[in-house]
């Protein structure tokens, strides 16, 4: 199964020259903890998380109204394509120590985002189905027939 089946197509974005304050307000308004920083062609050039704002703006005593997103974002995010197998995306997340990966199209443009939570929900559903199958074929359930 590939990423396209589970990634979120609604991607909250921010431009690199926006202020940290504007980015934080957007996160608050949209109830998200991550914004994808995009260039003029909608290609991801960075990721900004609520943790970035806490550590790199508040923690360093910067003025959020004067600090630009490009100065506190995590640059050059690793990405996956829609066709990337879920197992590969999970492996990449683990090796990079990240919980989210931007999903890009054929021109490198942002088309979605996949999170560790998305993968865990899928795995939980799959395991639930395996459990039902095992339960329905167990000797105990056959005795009920």
- Looking at residue 88, which CATH number applies to its domain? 3.10.580.10
**What is the value of pTM for the model shown?**
0.83
pLDDT > 90? residue 64: yes
Average pLDDT over residues 33-38: 97
Q: According to the model, what pLDDT value does residue 125 have?
A: 83
Q: Tell me if 35 sits within 8 A of 26, measured CB to CB.
A: yes
Element (H, E) at 103: strand 100-104
Domain count, the chain: 1
More confident residue, 135 or 89: 89
Mean pLDDT of 3-20: 95
DSSP string over 15-79:
-TTSBHHHHHHHHHHHT-SEEEEE-TTS-EEEEEEHHHIIIIIITTT--TTT-BGGGTSEES---
pLDDT at 135 over 90: no
- Region 128-139: what's the mean pLDDT? 78
């Amino acid at each position: 199964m590939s990423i396209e089946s589970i990634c979120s197509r609604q991607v909250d974005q921010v431009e690199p020259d926006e202020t940290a304050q504007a980015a934080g307000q957007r996160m608050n308004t949209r109830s998200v903890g991550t914004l994808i920083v995009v260039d003029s062609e909608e290609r991801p050039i960075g990721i900004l998380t609520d943790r970035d704002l806490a550590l790199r703006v508040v923690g360093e005593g910067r003025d959020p109204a004067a600090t630009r997103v490009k100065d506190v974002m995590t640059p050059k995010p690793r990405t996956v394509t829609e066709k990337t197998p879920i197992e590969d995306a999970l492996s990449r997340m683990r090796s990079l120590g990240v919980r989210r990966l931007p999903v890009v199209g054929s021109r490198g443009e942002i088309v979605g985002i996949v999170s560790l939570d998305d993968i865990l929900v899928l795995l939980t559903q799959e395991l639930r189905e395996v459990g039902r199958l095992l339960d329905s074929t167990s000797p105990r359930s056959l005795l009920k027939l």
